[in-house]
Amino acid sequence: MIIRFSHFAMSVSLALSSIVCFAQKAPRNGDPKLTEYWDPAVRVVTPGKTNADPPSDAIVLFDGKDLSKWKSDNDGSAAKWKIEGNAMVVVKGAGNISTKEAFGDCQLHIEWRTPAEVVGESQGRGNSGIFLMGKYELQVLDSYNNRTYSNGQAGSIYKQFPPLVNASRGPGEWQTYDIIFTAPMFYADGALKSPARITVFHNGVLVQNNTTIWGATQYVGTPNYEPHASKEPLILQDHGNPVAYRNIWIRPI
C-alpha cells in the first residue's frame, strides 16, 4: 500500500513538473555523432558475379574440375567419386568423401542434383547427405512428390528437424543449399556448452531458421553431443545413389 501510494504521489509530482515530464522520453535533439563510430573499419569482400558464385574470401571446395580438396573418409586415400561435366558424382561403394581442410562456423554454398531417372521411393530415392563437421547431417534426398518421414526429407536435419517447407525441385534439376552453421562448444570436462545451430535456404526458400541441433546425427537412438575439435572436415555421403554436386564454396565466419 505504501509503495502504491508513494508511486501515486510521485506521478502527481511528475505531472506538476514540466521539466521532469519533458524528460520522460529519450530526447531526440542533440548531437547525432554520439551514435556513430568509424572503428573498426569493415573488411571488404568482393561478391561473386552472381550470388551463387564464390565471393573473394570464399574457399572453393569444388569448382567443377577436380577433387583435389577432398579425400576418402574411409582411409584418407584419394576421393574416388567421378567428375562428369562440371559436377562430381557419388560412386556407389566409393564411400563418403571428406574435405582435407577442417571448418567450424561457416557460410556454405552447395549445389546438388538427384538422378533424372527416378528409382526407388522414400529414403531409397536420390539419397545423399551433407555432414557439417562430419557429424551433423543436412539431408539430401529427392523429395519431389516423394513422401518419407518428415524429419528425413530434403532440407531436414536428419532424424531431428523437418524443413519448414518442402522447396524441392524435381529429379535431374540442380538445387541449392545456402547454409549458416554455428559449431557447438564444449566445456573442458566434455559437457556441452552451446549446441550447434543451422540456418538453411533450399532453392532460395528458408527451410531451417536458426535451428538448434540436438547432437551428432544417429540412424538409431538418441542423438547426443560428444566433445570434438572446433574445426572438423565437411563430409559428403555415399548412400548408394548417383547424386551429383557442384559449385561448393565455404566462408569461415
Footprint of its own copies on residues 56-85 (CB under 8 A)? Answer: 57
Which member of 16, 18, 38, 93 binds its own copies (CB under 8 A)? 38
CA-to-CA separations, 20 to 9, 148, 252, in angstroms, rounded:
14, 64, 51
In 3D, which of 136, 134, 130 has the Cα closest to residue 202?
Answer: 130
User: Which residue's CB is nearer to its own copies, number 84 or number 226?
Assistant: 226
User: Which residue's CB is nearer to its own copies, number 78 or number 229?
Assistant: 229
What span, in angstroms and rounded, lies between the C-alpha atoms of 179 and 155?
11
What span, in angstroms and rounded, lies between the C-alpha atoms of 154 and 200?
11
Dihedral of CA 152/155/157/160: which sign? negative
**Least distance between its own copies and beta carbon 251 (Å):** 7
> Which set of grid coordinates corresponds to residue 58?
570464399
Instruction: Examine residue 18 and tell whether it contacts its own copies (CB under 8 A).
Output: no
Instruction: Examine residue 124 and tell whether it contacts its own copies (CB under 8 A).
Output: no
User: Which residue's CB is nearer to its own copies, number 78 or number 253?
Assistant: 253
User: Which residue's CB is nearer to its own copies, number 72 or number 148?
Assistant: 148
Instruction: Examine residue 24 and tell whether it contacts its own copies (CB under 8 A).
Output: yes
What residues numbered 223-252 form the site for its own copies, per CB under 8 A?
224, 226, 251
Dihedral of CA 211/214/220/226: which sign? positive
User: Which residue's CB is nearer to its own copies, number 79 or number 178?
Assistant: 178
What residues numbered 188-207 form the site for its own copies, per CB under 8 A?
189-193, 195, 199, 201-206
**Least distance between its own copies and beta carbon 76 (Å):** 24
Q: Which residue has the cell 551433407?
A: 130
What span, in angstroms and rounded, lies between the C-alpha atoms of 6 and 107?
55
Report the DSSP beta bridge partners of residue 25.
Answer: none
Answer whether 64's CB lies under 8 Å from 86's CB.
yes
Which member of 126, 134, 163, 171 binds its own copies (CB under 8 A)? 163
CB atoms within 10 A of CB 80: 16
**Least distance between its own copies and beta carbon 80 (Å):** 27
Which member of 68, 74, 86, 145 binds its own copies (CB under 8 A)? 145
**Least distance between its own copies and beta carbon 242 (Å):** 23
Q: Which residue has the cell 523429395?
A: 143
Residue type at 152?
G
Give me the count of residues in the chain: 253
Instruction: Examine residue 118 and tell whether it contacts its own copies (CB under 8 A).
Output: no
Q: Which stretch binds its own copies (CB under 8 A): 63-71, 129-137, 184-192, 228-236?
A: 184-192
User: Which residue's CB is nearer to its own copies, number 95 or number 163?
Assistant: 163
